[in-house]
Copies of this chain bind each other. A is one copy, B any other.
Amino acid sequence: MNNLAHILSEIKKIVGENYVFTDQETLNNYGHDETEDLTFPPHIVVKPANTFEIAEIIKLANEFKIPTTPIGGKTGLSGGALSVYGGIALSTERLNKIIDIDEKNVQVITEPAVITQILREAVADKGLFYPVDPSSLGSCFIGGNIAENSGGARAVKYGVTKDYVLNLEVVLPNGEIIWTGANTLKNATGYNLTQLMVGSEGTLGIVTKIVLKLLPKVNHNILMLVPFYKAEQACEAVSEIFKAGITPSALEFMERDAIDWSLRYVEGISVAVKPNHQAHLLIEVDGNYLGILMQEAEKIVSVVEQFEIDEVLFADTEDQKNALWKMRRGVAEAVKANSVYKEEDTVVPRYELPKLLKGIKQIGEKYGFKSVCYGHAGDGNLHVNIIKANLSEEQWQKEVPKGIREIFELTVSLKGTLSGEHGIGWVQKNYMDIAFSKTHLELMEGIKRIFDPNNILNPGKIFPDEDI
The interface of chain A, by Cβ under 8 A from chain B, is 102-107, 127, 148-151, 155-156, 159-160, 162-163, 167, 172, 174, 176, 178, 181-193, 195-196, 198-200, 204, 215-217, 239, 242-243, 245-247, 289, 292, 345, 347-352, 376, 379-381, 412, 415-424, 432, 435-437, 439-441, 443-444, 446-451, 462
| B107, B196, B437, B449: the one within 8 Å of A191 (CB) | B196
Given contacts A182-B347, A439-B172, A439-B176, contact A148 B188 (CB under 8 A): yes
CA distance A192 to B443 in the complex (A): 11
CA distance A187 to B148 in the complex (A): 10
- Residues in B with CB closer than 8 Å to A437 are 176, 178
Asked whether A415 lies within 8 Å of B188 as measured between CB atoms, the reply is no
Asked whether B435 lies within 8 Å of A190 as measured between CB atoms, the reply is yes
* Identical copies in the complex: 2
Asked whether B190 lies within 8 Å of A444 as measured between CB atoms, the reply is yes
CA distance A167 to B189 in the complex (A): 21
Asked whether A199 lies within 8 Å of B193 as measured between CB atoms, the reply is no
Asked whether B289 lies within 8 Å of A424 as measured between CB atoms, the reply is no
- Residues in B with CB closer than 8 Å to A187 are 149, 199, 347, 417, 419-420
- Residues in B with CB closer than 8 Å to A246 are 216
CA distance A193 to B200 in the complex (A): 11
- Residues in B with CB closer than 8 Å to A243 are 103-104
Asked whether A185 lies within 8 Å of B104 as measured between CB atoms, the reply is no
Asked whether A191 lies within 8 Å of B444 as measured between CB atoms, the reply is yes
CB distance from A110 to the nearest CB of B (A): 15
- Residues in B with CB closer than 8 Å to A178 are 436-437, 439-440, 443
Known pairs A104-B243, A450-B450. 7 more at Cβ < 8 A? A149-B187, A151-B188, A182-B412, A187-B347, A191-B444, A195-B196, A217-B245
CB distance from A159 to the nearest CB of B (A): 8
CA distance A441 to B216 in the complex (A): 35
- Residues in B with CB closer than 8 Å to A196 are 191-192, 195-196
CA distance A196 to B416 in the complex (A): 19
Asked whether A349 lies within 8 Å of B186 as measured between CB atoms, the reply is no
Asked whether B188 lies within 8 Å of A155 as measured between CB atoms, the reply is no
- Residues in B with CB closer than 8 Å to A190 are 424, 432, 435-436, 441, 444, 462
Nearest B residue (CB) for A240: B104
| B204, B239, B417: the one within 8 Å of A104 (CB) | B239
CA distance A215 to B157 in the complex (A): 10
